[in-house]
Chains A and B, each alone.
Chain A
Amino acid sequence: MRLDPIKDSDAATEQENAHIRQLLGQMPLAQPSSRLDDRVRSTLLRGRSRWIAVGTFSSAAAALVAIAIVLPRHSSAPSQQIVSNNSGSPVLPVSSPAPGRLRIERDYKRIDDVGVVARLNGVPIRQMHYRGERQVWYFDAKRNTRLSVTVPVDRVVMVPVDTF
């Protein structure tokens, strides 16, 4: 326990109160429940992941701005584009290929059904947790440059459940 330095005038009072302080220190305090620990810990985890997401989004946004500035300078021909679907398997390029230039996108998604978490006007509300990541790679063989951008997505959606 940290205590302030005691002035001379307070020293006598502190000494008189030493016994009562000791008794108070030994008192059995009412304990918080373990549920409080769970609530606070989940709040702290959510708070941390939120800031990580904000930081990553900021970095990704800065990277995209850089791309927007840099790429048009070298885009004499349309780039080859490969787009992947949710399962991660690549799809054939849709735009006409430019020699030596490549752009690949890939999305990963995961959806968790948390279950019914609340009721709104008697209607059960189900919580869905979407987590995902979008990855974009740029390759330019001519200039021997490559760039990759990863944007995480973390979203909670509340969906009313139809009742019969």
Chain B
Amino acid sequence: MDKPNLQILYTRHRQALFTLALSWTRCRSLAEDAVHDGFVRICRADLSRVADPDAYIFAAVRNAAIDQSRRAQANGRLKEKIAMSLFDMNQEDSEDPRSKAECDEEQRLIAAEVDGLPDESREAVVLRIYGGLTFAQIAQIVGQPLPTVAMRYHRALGRLRMKLEKHV
């Protein structure tokens, strides 16, 4: 198999990789370190033998993020920090103010719920929705059976749906 172009893969998955790393570390600088570490590891590997490069780079960044998170917890770096959200609710857009306010409230609720999901469920949502990966790829990345990751994802979405329905 031809060696994949890492530059193209990075550009394509940049946002999703950062969100995945942030999902584990809950800290911007650690998440960026994790994405960088992941690519350092990828550069050392022989990618010509990798069957699914997309899944491979997600797995590398995920492992780096978990390592970063554990290291930071061991050093006590995470204890004093507030966990960072996966979402930036202060981003400006040009919608009209009334619908924007309604939208903001819904989005804030979703953001709080996603941030509050268990790590594995949040990870499944991030990989599926923002990474655009299949359940088979996610199962390969997290090293769990396909039905397990599908169940985590559906449960997480079901939980979010129920919260939204209650709210409405």
Q: Bound pair: A and B?
A: yes
Could you list which residues of chain A lie within 8 angstroms of chain B, going by C-beta atoms? 1-4, 10, 13, 16-17, 19-21, 23-33, 35-37, 39-41, 43-44, 46-47, 50
Which residue of the partner chain, among B6, B150, B157, contacts A21 with CB atoms under 8 Å?
B157
Task: Please tell me if B106 contacts chain A, counting CB pairs below 8 Å.
Answer: yes
Bound together, the chains give a CA A23 to CA B102 distance in angstroms of 13
State the total of A-B contacts with C-beta under 8 angstroms: 103
Q: Is the CB of B35 within 8 A of A13?
A: no
Task: Please tell me if B50 contacts chain A, counting CB pairs below 8 Å.
Answer: no
Known contacts A1-B132, A4-B134, A36-B36; is A27 also within 8 Å of B87 by CB?
yes
Residues from chain A with Cβ under 8 Å of B56 in the complex: none
A156 to chain B, nearest CB (A): 15
Known contacts A24-B110, A44-B6; is A32 also within 8 Å of B35 by CB?
yes
- Which residue of the partner chain A has the closest CB to B137? A2
Bound together, the chains give a CA A13 to CA B161 distance in angstroms of 11
Q: Is the interface of B mostly helix, strand, loop or mixed?
A: helix
Bound together, the chains give a CA A35 to CA B35 distance in angstroms of 12
Residues from chain B with Cβ under 8 Å of A37 in the complex: 14
- Which residue of the partner chain B has the closest CB to A14? B154
Q: Is the CB of A30 within 8 A of B135?
A: no
Residues from chain B with Cβ under 8 Å of A30 in the complex: 18-19, 22, 28, 84-88
A24 to chain B, nearest CB (A): 5
Residues from chain B with Cβ under 8 Å of A27 in the complex: 87, 107, 110-111, 114
Q: Which 9 A-B pairs have the closest CB atoms?
A: A47-B43, A32-B18, A1-B132, A28-B91, A17-B157, A36-B32, A30-B88, A4-B134, A39-B36
Residues from chain B with Cβ under 8 Å of A3 in the complex: 134
12 A-B pairs whose Cβ atoms sit less than 8 Å apart in the complex: A4-B135, A17-B157, A23-B164, A25-B129, A29-B86, A30-B22, A36-B36, A39-B32, A43-B43, A44-B43, A47-B43, A47-B44
Q: Is the CB of A31 within 8 A of B15?
A: yes
Residue count of chain B within 8 Å CB distance of chain A: 44
Task: Please tell me if B145 contacts chain A, counting CB pairs below 8 Å.
Answer: no
Known contacts A27-B111, A36-B36; is A17 also within 8 Å of B43 by CB?
no
Bound together, the chains give a CA A27 to CA B89 distance in angstroms of 8
Q: Is the CB of B85 within 8 A of A21?
A: no
Residues from chain A with Cβ under 8 Å of B157 in the complex: 17, 20-21, 24
Residues from chain A with Cβ under 8 Å of B43 in the complex: 43-44, 46-47, 50
Which residue of the partner chain, among A25, A29, A39, A47, contacts B19 with CB atoms under 8 Å?
A29
A45 to chain B, nearest CB (A): 9
Known contacts A17-B154, A17-B158; is A28 also within 8 Å of B39 by CB?
no
Q: Is the CB of B35 within 8 A of A40?
A: yes
